Amino acid sequence: MLETLPVVHSHPDPRHKPAIAQKHELRFWLNGKPVVEKNPDPNESLIHFVRRKGYTGTKLGCSEGCGCGSCTVVVESFDYATQKVVTNSVNSCLAPACSVDGKHVITIEGLGNAKKPHIVQTVIADAHGSQCGFCTPGIAMSLYAAMKKNPHADEHAIEDAFDGGI
């Protein structure tokens, strides 16, 4: 069912940053849209940054990066050695916002919505894979990253993707 994962957002060639970042600028893509933040706070976490930008589907739970997974986002970057896009799930409560310079960050809002859900969201909903819903966005993002890394993942590999989640 998840064999062919649709592309979430097309963005410019990942080998190119949105432009050459000037000193004291943070430049990256957020849900397929370029972001330029002048004089970014080096102490601001990625979760606080994306929530400040209005993407509140990413939740702050344990603030420790090992307990709940509700803060999980996907970060894509270009690996020049392999010439491929690398997809990782990231605990945004621990990652500094400045660490995503030149990368593509996908939040649950960038994955899909109620009117046009991503297949990962549909599978979770159809299988009643949510309890209260607080950590569900993080679960969806972890599953999306796992399936992007390995579209033919077995049950064990998928289960491993949820380590650190409630």
Domain ranges of the chain: 25-161
Angle (CA) 60 21 9, round 5°:
55
- CA distances to 51, 95, 156 from 160, rounded to whole Å, are 27, 21, 6
For residues 6-16, give the mean pLDDT. 54
Predicted pLDDT of residue 2: 44
Which residue in 26, 52, 29, 53 sits closest to 39, CA to CA? 26
**If you classify domain 25-161 with CATH, what class do you get?**
alpha beta
Of 4-18, 84-98, 146-160, the one with minimum mean pLDDT is 4-18
Q: Is the pLDDT of residue 14 over 60?
A: no
pTM above 0.75, yes or no: yes
Over residues 4-24, the mean pLDDT reads 55
Percentage of the chain lying above the pLDDT 70 cut: 81
Beta bridge partners of 90: 73
Q: What is the pLDDT of residues 99-142, one digit of tens each?
A: 999 999 999 999 998 899 999 999 988 988 877 788 888 889 99
Spatial separation of the C-alpha atoms in residues 8 and 115, rounded to whole Å:
15
Whether the predicted pLDDT of 165 surpasses 70: no
Asked if 151 and 2 touch (Cβ cutoff 8 Å), the reply is yes
- What is the per-residue pLDDT for 46? 97
> Is there a contact between 83 and 50 (Cβ–Cβ < 8 Å)?
no
**Per-residue pLDDT reduced to its tens digit, 40-76:** 999 999 999 999 999 999 988 776 666 678 899 999 9
Token pair in block for residue 33: 């849209």
The predicted structure's pLDDT at residue 64: 67
Residue 104: strand pairing partners: 29, 76
Task: Output the pLDDT for position 1.
Answer: 43
